[in-house]
Chains A and B, each alone.
Chain A
């Protein structure tokens, strides 16, 4: 395949991928009071990673982000279940959560909730599932180089 001229795409990806990752962190922490949360934050993160995959190709990004996304899914699910069961240690029912207003140095008074731990699990599951599905479809061929990429 001849070398294509995609200088604009490469240059904008370097900036926009960082903007997307920052926006995903903002959305993740904006949850439970405003639009946001683990699901949509994970979707934004996977959008940023997919943008990098589209621009730079499969092999290069796999070297840069050496994460097995199926393991990530399982880890997120484990965190979500353990966050649900943590409340049972305090005698409360499954998945109940506590929250409160705390005064943090430099940031000021913030509303902190233990639902964030559950949200972290949701975030990891969404990133893992989305990237597993899309990369499995994208690398769906019989080549030997594709033996270890997915389903």
Chain B
């Protein structure tokens, strides 16, 4: 009974993982369309930012699938780089310049 339960759990996890991967792939494809078509540059910037968020999710799912904790650092790293990117995009949209000469 215990054995069957574990087997069922493993199969269900595999199915859920595949569904998640497919959903994220569709999401990235839609975002790529927005990146290429995007009417304004702000749309493109936000789309690329969201592709990064999907990349974090895919990395987390790969960590679950491979049963490893080595990829947790990678997720944190992508998150930090995305944070810097988001600040840069926000500052560019607001001021038009990212690194100012003189900011009192």
Contacts and interface: CB of A to CB of B under 8 A. Distances in A.
Interface string B72-88: 01101100110110011
B74 A35 contact: yes
A51 B81 CA distance: 10
Interface in A42-80: 43-44, 47, 50-51, 53-60
Given A23-B80, A36-B73, A58 B101 contact: yes
Contacts, number: 61
A1 B81 CA distance: 29
A145 B80 contact: no
Interface stretch (B1-9, B11-19, B37-45, B92-100): B92-100
A35 B80 contact: no
Nearest to A16: B83
Interface residues of B, number: 22
Interface residues of A, number: 33
Contact of B101 (A43, A44, A54, A59): A59
Interface in A9-25: 9, 16, 20, 23
A58 B100 contact: yes
B95 A138 contact: no
Interface string B44-76: 000000000000000000000000001101101
A44 B103 contact: no
A27 interface: yes
A138 B81 contact: no
B88 A54 contact: yes
Given A20-B80, A54-B88, A134-B99, 5 more contacts: A23-B80, A27-B77, A40-B77, A59-B102, A135-B99
Interface of A: 1, 3-4, 9, 16, 20, 23, 27, 30, 34-36, 40, 43-44, 47, 50-51, 53-60, 134-135, 138-139, 143, 145-146
